[in-house]
Chain A
C-alpha cells in the first residue's frame, strides 16, 4: 500500500514558466514532508521541507505548499530553468522527522528551453 503517491510520472514545462509537482499521502499521522531532486547517476539531493504546522515554505525559486485537510502537497518552481530537469521525489515522515522517510515514486520534470 503506497502511503505517498506522485500520480504524474512526468511533466514537461517551458523555460521561464511555473512547474507544479504534486504529491498525495494517505497517512494522516505524517507531519514532516520533504522534496528531493535526483539527476541521473546521482543520489537524491534535499531540496526543501515543510512541517505540518505550516502551510507554506519558500526557498528562492522553490515553494512547497501543504494542504493537510486534503493530504496534499505541491512543489512550485518559478521560474523553471533547464537545469531543473530531474526526477523529483516527495517524501514524508512521522514524528517530525524521527522516523525513516517514506518516498513517492517520483515525477520526471523536463524543462524545455
Chain B
C-alpha cells in the first residue's frame, strides 16, 4: 500500500460530461502529481501541485483543471469529455524534490 488514495476506482460517463477525480496523498507529502495513461502509452504528466500552489504543468488540456486544497488532497476536474479522454488517471505524491513518487492505484475513466 503506497498510502496514496484515489477515488473513485472506476468511472463511466458520457461524452460532454464533467467528472472529478480525487486524490489523498501520503501523510506528510506536500507534492501531488497527476498523470494520464492511455492505451499503450506511458504515463503522461499533467500537472503538479506543491503545498496548494501549482508547481509545474505538462500536457494538460484546457478542458482539464486541478487544485490542491489546504488539507493537501487534490482534485482533477475533466470537462466536456471526449472518447479520447478514456484512460487511467494516476495521482502520485512525494515529500518534496529529489524524492521518488508514490502512486495511487488510479482511476479508470471510460467515456462512452
Contact = CB atoms under 8 A, between A and B. Distances in A.
Interface in A61-113: 89, 91, 96-106
Contacts, number: 56
Contact of A43 (B42, B45, B90): B90
- Could you say which interface size class chain B belongs to? 20 to 34
B2 interface: yes
Interface stretch (B13-21, B64-72, B102-110): B102-110
Interface of A: 2, 4, 6, 32, 34, 36, 41-46, 49, 89, 91, 96-106
Nearest to B88: A43
B76 interface: no
Given A46-B101, A98-B98, 9 more contacts: A43-B2, A43-B105, A45-B102, A46-B100, A97-B98, A97-B99, A98-B97, A101-B101, A105-B42
